[in-house]
Amino acid sequence: MTMKIFDSESYRPRAWVLLAAGLAVAICSGAIFLDMHKPEPLVAGPGVTQQKMLSDYVPELANTPADTPIYILEGEEPGGTLMLIGGTHPQELSGVLAAVLTMENVTPQRGRIIIFPQANRSGFTHTDPLEGFPHTFSVQARDGSERWFRVGMRLSNPIHQWPDPDIHLHPQSGERMVGWESRNLNRNYPGVDDGRYTARINAAITQVARQENVDLLLDMHEAYPEYPIINMMVAHERAFEISTLAMIGLQMRGIPMDLMASPPLLRGLSHREFGDHTQALAILSETANPAMGRFRGRTDEELVVGGRDANYVRAAKLRRLFVPFDENGHPLNERTGRQLATVEELVIAYNEANPDKQIDVTGIPTYEDVTAQGISPFLLPTP
């Protein structure tokens, strides 16, 4: 009996083919990875009087991935200061778009608006592993040209902060959280000046609120439809009165928006820490994003922008959701309009309580117009 000897020569061509295929995949993947770091275009509207960077307040962040643009809209007359934060969690897109539409359309007559469209810019450079998210989506601008936006992840990119600890301790309170929350911008306020990457961003944004004497702050978020805190404002106790007035205003307009108090022992979140550590009346808002949920089907641009999903229609019939959900879903237009209406009603309520320090603005796209006409008529073309 003859034993067959392994012939390495016969395997060499196949090995070279496999090596070449592996290199091709690595090169293509690397190109996609690097493309995620290309910043999306942001357009300053006619009401923008100053464009700054976070590093203008904290120079140590200059030329780092933590640096992010800040847009200031200032009226001719002094008044109160509103700060809008979008992009705390970059896949929560109605907050990003509401910040962008405010920046591109609003003009203050009295007081100021300070806008962060991409608070955690690092989170815009990657997506959630194994979740199949598209990297971008597109919307037409008012002139028919295309505007594209990123779909990021709620945590800072691990290439900017790694490794995650087993347990994340909130520095000021000692509250224990799962380790990856160390990369969550909304678990690390008020931040640490010399802390880890994400905590330094928190400290810098807190510094902006203090230095600019922010009076009213709204951090705009989204949640999945099976999450109980949805279509809701969460308000610090000092902001509860104006948030109640804003909620009533929204309900009277047929825009359901509930209200809950910021839990004093739930630490690191914007509505708690800005309220405790700055003079700002701090509120967080949540709208319903089916692209984030566990019941969702295929996660593509249609789901991200259109907000329709048959799985969620069935889940609503089984009473598994905390918001109504039919064949129309919760499109980005409707969610962005809800955020803008919340801004509008909070400003009205703030002005009623502060007649000597008004924030008077024009040009906020209305909920009715955005839901009926879409986002496109309010998007400026890129230069």
Residue 182 binned pLDDT confidence (cut-offs 50, 70, 90): very high
Give dist(CA 327, CA 309) in Å, integer: 8
Residue range 234-238: mean pLDDT, rounded: 98
Give dist(CA 113, CA 82) in Å, integer: 5
pTM (2 d.p.): 0.94
Q: Work out the mean pLDDT of the chain and round it to a whole number.
A: 95
Counting other chains too, the contacts that 188-194 makes at CB distance below 8 Å and 24 or more residues apart are 188/268, 189/268, 189/269, 189/270, 189/272, 189/273, 189/274, 189/277, 190/273, 190/274, 190/276, 190/277
Residue range 181-197: mean pLDDT, rounded: 97
Give residue 260's region: left, alpha or beta (phi > 0; psi -120 to 50): beta
Chain segment 31-60, per-residue pLDDT in tens: 877 888 888 999 999 999 999 999 999 999
Q: How far is CA 32 from CA 126, 130, 324, 325, in A?
A: 10, 15, 37, 34
User: How remote is the C-alpha of 181 from its chain's centroid?
Assistant: 16
Record the tokens describing residue 29, joined without a space.
């993947």
Q: Where are the beta strands (DSSP E) in 224-322?
A: 232-235, 258-261, 281-288
Q: Does 12 score more than 70 pLDDT?
A: yes
Residue 6 binned pLDDT confidence (cut-offs 50, 70, 90): low
Environment class of 85 (CB within 10 Å of its CB; exposed 0-12, middle 13-18, buried 19+): buried
Q: Does 1 score more than 60 pLDDT?
A: no
Q: Where are the domains of the chain?
A: 40-378
Q: Name residue 190's amino acid.
A: P
Residue 3 binned pLDDT confidence (cut-offs 50, 70, 90): low
CATH number, span 40-378? 3.40.630.10
The conformation of residue 155, written as its DSSP 8-state character, comes to B
Chain segment 111-129, per-residue pLDDT in tens: 999 999 999 999 999 998 8
Q: Does 177 score more than 90 pLDDT?
A: yes
Q: Does 208 score more than 70 pLDDT?
A: yes
Q: Would the CA dihedral through 223, 224, 225, 226 be positive or negative? A: negative
